[in-house]
Structure 1
């Protein structure tokens, strides 16, 4: 969705072609708490056995953990870390649950198996504490259906204001966001719906309150079609058919204008229309105001920021390095002669531990008041565990660098996590928040993760983490 990061375009095109409260548990053993009774579910009273997987260091529920029986029944924890289990033939008897999750590592037994034996009993629960290898902590899924499905089946609390089919959205590609007129505005690319494999491809949008606590939930309010209730296009009347992808979302002219650069695609590799668009507040959609040569890259891409009276962004595959600047006015943005290159769009990061090169594939750079440094969250291309699923942290005294050493903070084993970006408006002291698109498309993994696939997942990084100071 967001050129020039190829991952988004490939995923978009492939689909276009048809395809709460937390109990705190500290580290140590045992990893399984004793089973105990729980309130009956209002949906299916007392039927389910609840398993909650929590981070061994923080006690917070861990989303996206797979529990698998010896008969290969697979269960995935929801955003609060819960699995609601009911299998008629397996209740009231000992059951082995294999455990695995990206960036977490459950202890192995003498045969090398990672898992636990539990006895599923209706109306009871068990707690499994999971040690984390990732430096960043996975918080929850932001988009898609059934974010707290298992919690609801078990009668457990879930954050208020989180619909289980918000905007009838099943999946979304690549996020951009900006704080505009006292609201957070969110935009995504191709968006899946429940009733047909093809969704809408005109860019989706939503708003949320900047007062939302990111540790708890982001409460999205989608722009929807009045008749269907489904997320509606933010570019409602393109000149022709084909997906419309955006990049370079920015607030300019003293906070009065929200703009982006857009591309309308004929197919996977052919752009037929490219230009600058401004958000119409009254109509709640983008309107093109200038067109550029569609055979050339957008003049500014990525996740821009304002600094010293300039708007800085990335260019032509150089993300997340801020190598282009322009005055933040409509008049300046319309004229390609006003864009100034301030650095070569080349990033030569190295692993701070091994010295091995880290090939960048998108990300973002923002000032961090806590560290008093510019912070880069960057996606690696062709990483060890994933094609585009490993995320790194770097910092520098200047936004142009030098950016030299990076520390790996997140990994996704044989799954993609592309178009990663920070949320600077959520920065809270020592914590930085970032998200990306989780999907199996480019990883070579033929097995999509139910509910999570093709959706956005939020992470939190503690800047006091000692391993960042390598």
Structure 2
């Protein structure tokens, strides 16, 4: 009664009710867990931020027993006798509730890298945000390349706050070469976005033609005439996903934009032929000749690792795609959709992270890991390291440039979106953004992939 009277007094005085602090942590290591959803029996929905926090402010939930269903895409709690997965607790204004969740994924969720309100719940609880607001609300798949003494980050279609239609000419930012000091949550990356004269995040690939400009195959390579150059492959898009023009583009340091270098294919030309797509990687053959391999995830073509080798189509060579990996669990084929390949000094092997095509339970949300002696394969047994409950996680990208060379783990990110899922309900703030994961390569659960 006393607590209820206190709440009534605060409300009548026009004062805000102090929220209840809910902390969601990994039971194994105590790390904060972002992207865990709590839902009440009257369908109020709350999602933990990058600090693993929820600021519960709804007064009807205070000072009574409340059931919260728990959903965490690979994190959760034990089901009760009726099959419900959740907890019952009694929130209070100004109180604290700690929820320990079990990690069922092999990969550990580190946090969201893009979008708004990454520490919004922490701020509601009186804490300071560990990341400044960039104005970006959502963005599609990431590309990363070393550019001098910095990292150059690029994303596809980007959502802003002011209107449903955002930026469709790719957005970009720079960071230090190693922008993450510690690979545990909470974390954030201080992106320095390219902006227009009004300070708004702008497009950096204004290739002439109607529709969005999507980039792929971005890499910095040596040019005999001008040092090193940042290059990429562009696609002009009509409708939802249809290309009508594909070509090569280069970064103009003066205008700070990608500009068309050469058209490779236009609608009506027939077969496209070889196209440098995906996340490029450098590789030396037995004669020590250096090549750039392009593929998504596995290499499909190569060219000499020079600007001249990249721009001249007669220098390109087809690479035979290896068979799909087999599941370490049951031997079934695991057909890749998109992903990336990288050399790993700790394993002294090539490693891959990829989204499974038509996986279960999510058609484009099941993430697998495999190893090989060569980037061209064949790939060993694949182990699922990340799952989603009716949600998509596509275009995952390993970040070898972010981790120390002797690290016993890798980190990878991908696009978390309700797109291509079965009528999924978009997750507030997280939807259509990039989420970073850590995979410890000495985890016993990966033993089958190391055989």
Q: Provide TM-score, normalisation by structure 2.
A: 0.89
Cα displacement string for residues 141-164 of structure 1 (whole angstroms, at most 9, x for unaligned residues) = 1111101100111123543xx12x
- State whether residues 112 and 436 of structure 2, in contact with CA within 8 Å, keep that contact through their aligned partners in structure 1: yes
Task: State the partner residue of 1:351.
Answer: 327
Closer, same or farther: CA 198–344 of 1 in aligned 2, 3 Å: same
Larger radius of gyration between Structure 1 and Structure 2: 2
Aligned to 2:4: none
Shift in CA distance, 338/131, structure 1 to aligned 2, threshold 3 Å: same
Shift of 1:412: 0.8
Shift of 1:395: 0.6
SS in 2 for 1:276: strand
The answer (yes or no) to whether the contact 1:178–1:249 under 8 Å persists in 2 is: yes
Structure 1 CA distance for aligned equivalents of residues 338 and 241 of structure 2: 19
One of 278, 287, 291 as aligned partner of 1:311:
291
Deviation at 1:393, TM superposition (A): 0.4
Partner residue in 1 for 2:5: none
- How far apart in 1 are the matches of 2:273 and 2:356? 22
Matching of residue 245 in structure 1 with residue 223 in structure 2: no
Shift of 1:453: 0.6
1:24-423 map, 5 Å: 47-159=18-130, 162-163=131-132, 165-166=133-134, 168-213=135-180, 215=183, 216-227=187-198, 229-236=199-206, 238-253=207-222, 256-295=228-267, 296=272, 299-308=275-284, 309-315=289-295, 319-341=296-318, 343-423=319-399
Report how far residue 299 of structure 1 moved: 2.0
1:391 positional shift: 0.5
Distance in 1 separating the partners of 2:74 and 2:266: 40
Deviation string for 1:439-466 (max 9, x for gaps)? 1110113411111111110000011110
The answer to whether the 8 Å contact 1:299/1:339 transfers is no
Q: CA deviation at 1:346?
A: 4.3
Deviation at 1:266, TM superposition (A): 2.8
- Confirm or deny: 8 A CA contact 1:385 1:413 kept in the other structure: yes
Structure possessing the higher relative contact order (Cα contacts under 8 Å, 6 or more residues apart): 1
2:422 aligned to which of 423, 444, 448: 444
Question: TM-score by structure 1 length?
Answer: 0.85
Aligned partner of residue 179 in structure 1, secondary structure: strand
When the two chains are superposed, the root-mean-square deviation of aligned CA atoms in Å is: 1.7
Q: Deviations over 1:83-108 (max 9, x none)?
A: 00011222222221111110113111
Q: Cα distance, 1:297 vs. partner?
A: 5.3
Q: Residue 391 of structure 2 contacts residue 416 of structure 2 at CA under 8 Å; is this kept in 1?
A: yes
Contact 1:177/1:186 (CA < 8 Å) preserved in 2? Answer: yes
d(CA) in 1 for partners of 2:65 and 2:274? Answer: 59
Q: Describe the shift of the 1:80–1:462 C-alpha distance in structure 2 as closer, same or farther (beyond 3 A).
A: same
Q: Deviation at 1:46?
A: 7.0
Residues 390-439 of structure 1 deviation map (CA, whole Å, 9 limit, x = unaligned): 10000111111111310000001110000111001122411100010011
Residues 17, 57 of structure 2: 8 Å contact kept: no
Does structure 1 retain, via aligned residues, the 8 Å contact 2:105–2:385? yes
In 1, the alpha carbon distance for the partners of 2:241 and 2:144 equals: 25
Residues of 1 paired with 2:367 and 2:273: CA distance?
A: 25
> Structure 2 regions of 5+ residues with no counterpart?
1-14
How far residue 372 of structure 1 moved from its aligned partner, in angstroms, is: 0.7
Q: What is the Cα deviation at residue 276 of structure 1?
A: 1.1
Q: Report Cα offsets for 1:293-344 as digits up to 9, x if no partner.
A: 23415621111011224333335xxx21123211122222221111112x32
Structure 1's unaligned 5+ residue stretches are 1-43
Deviations 1:197-253 (A, max 9, x none): 1111001101111232262321111111222x33211123x3222100011011100
Q: Secondary structure at the match of 2:195?
A: coil
Deviation at 1:187, TM superposition (A): 0.6
- CA gap of 1:297–1:451, structure 2 versus 1, over 3 A, is farther
Determine the structure 1 residue equivalent to 2:7.
Answer: none
Distance (Å, rounded) in 2 between the aligned partners of 1:62 and 1:453: 17
Counterparts of 1:114 and 1:263, CA distance in 2:
44
